[in-house]
Amino acid sequence: MGTGRPVKASADEEDFSSSFYVPMKCLEITDKCKQYLDVDVIVEERFDLFVNMTHITTFFASPVELEELALGFLVCEGFIRPCTNAEPIRVTSDSIFCEIDIDTEELATLTHQQRCGTTSYRKDSTPFIVSDVSFSKEAIFNSVEQLKEKGKAWHRTGGAHTSMVCNNKGEVLFFCEDVGRACSVDKVVGKALMNGTDLSKCSLVTTGRLASTMISKAINAGFPLVASKGATVREAVELAKKAGITLVAFVRRPNMYVYSSEQRIVIE
């Protein structure tokens, strides 16, 4: 189990590290000594997303799985439904281009938002989640506990977020890492949809605080349940109740806090 502190990459991780992180020198200062170390530092690059040749947003993301990032973003931000075709997606050194079935002029009529250094557009509507799938308490514990086990970049740098799509047995179907929490969600949603996964029977499990923007992504993607080891906020709880999604936070065995739609969780 890693500590999340930056460490030196091994030879068999060379291909992985070339995308996610690079070695850099730093001075380590302890209570007894100081020494120079070569440590791994995660990479964050800028990518502009163009939809129908209209600039939609700017990502500051890890430079991997960019097609998944674009598709997941469009679904999670409400531009398209999970079943909508958004291919082909073209990626250049600093931009992502895709075409979707939407009136380009309509993009200018959507609500304009600024957050986390990016600009995005989204409609003022909240889908209601209709799903009769249930999750056992143990399945939720098992899925959340796998966040650190799956997080290679987190183990190497301490600077990555992990998001996973899990089935109702707590098994990990897909996982993605990114320097950004929101981008890790977009990527794993895009990866799952590219593989034909029905998200209405799955859970979204992610690191970090469950803010309202994260719950909004889960709702637009169609997840019936979202879980994290971290906290949540009032606005996220209110949004989850409005949309009928199950919000589970502070998942730390043997306890978890369920803030909405608790009927989906089976207590053995």
CB 225 within 8 A of CB 248: yes
Cα(167)–Cα(160) distance, integer angstroms:
23
Cβ atoms of 102 and 52 within 8 Å: the answer is: yes
Contact 79, 186 (CB under 8 A): no
Co-location of 118 and 142 in the same domain: no
Rounded to whole angstroms, the Cα distance separating 94 from 46 reads 6
Same domain for 147 and 256?
yes
pLDDT at 11: 43
**pLDDT tens across 28-49, in order?**
999 989 999 999 999 999 999 9
Tell me if 128 is assigned to some domain: no
- Looking at 92, 122, 152, the residue that finishes a domain is 122
**Does 219 have pLDDT greater than 50?**
yes
The pLDDT, as a whole number, for residue 16 is: 53
Residues 211 and 141 in one domain: yes
Q: Taking 50 as the threshold, does the pLDDT of residue 224 lie above it?
A: yes
Q: Is residue 52 part of a domain?
A: yes
Write down how long the chain is.
Answer: 268
User: Are residue 166 and residue 256 in the same domain, yes or no?
Assistant: yes
CA angle 46, 47, 51 (to 5 degrees): 155
More confident: 61 or 13: 61
- Per-residue pLDDT averaged across 4-24, rounded? 62
Domain that holds residue 112: 45-122
Look up the CATH number of the domain holding residue 90. Answer: 3.10.20.10
State how far the Cα of 221 lies from the Cα of 212, in Å rounded to an integer.
14
- In a shared domain, residues 258 and 155: yes
**With helix as H, strand as E and coil as C, how does 50-66 read?**
EECCEEEEEEEECCCCH
Average pLDDT of the chain is 88
Residue 240 lies in a domain: yes
- Digit-coded pLDDT (tens) for 145-196: 999 889 888 888 988 999 999 999 999 999 999 999 999 999 999 999 999 9
Task: Give 51's contacts (C-beta < 8 A, 6+ positions apart).
Answer: 74, 79, 98, 99, 100, 102, 107
Q: How far apart are CA 172 and CA 146, in angstroms?
A: 8
CATH number of 186's domain? 3.40.140.10
**Long-range CB pairs of 19-27, under 8 A, 24+ apart, other chains included:** 19/43, 19/62, 19/63, 19/64, 20/62, 20/64, 20/152, 20/153, 20/156, 20/157, 20/160, 20/177, 21/153, 21/156, 21/157, 21/159
Lowest average pLDDT, out of 59-68, 99-108, 194-203, 226-235, goes to: 99-108
Residues 241 and 229 in one domain: yes
Long-range Cβ contacts of 103-109 (<8 Å, 24+ apart)? 104/52, 104/53, 104/54, 107/51, 107/52, 107/54, 107/56
DSSP E strand stretches across 62-132: 89-91, 95-98, 111-115, 118-122
Which runs of consecutive H residues, i.e. helices, occur in 128-197?
A: 137-150, 152-157, 181-194
Three-state SS for 69?
A: helix
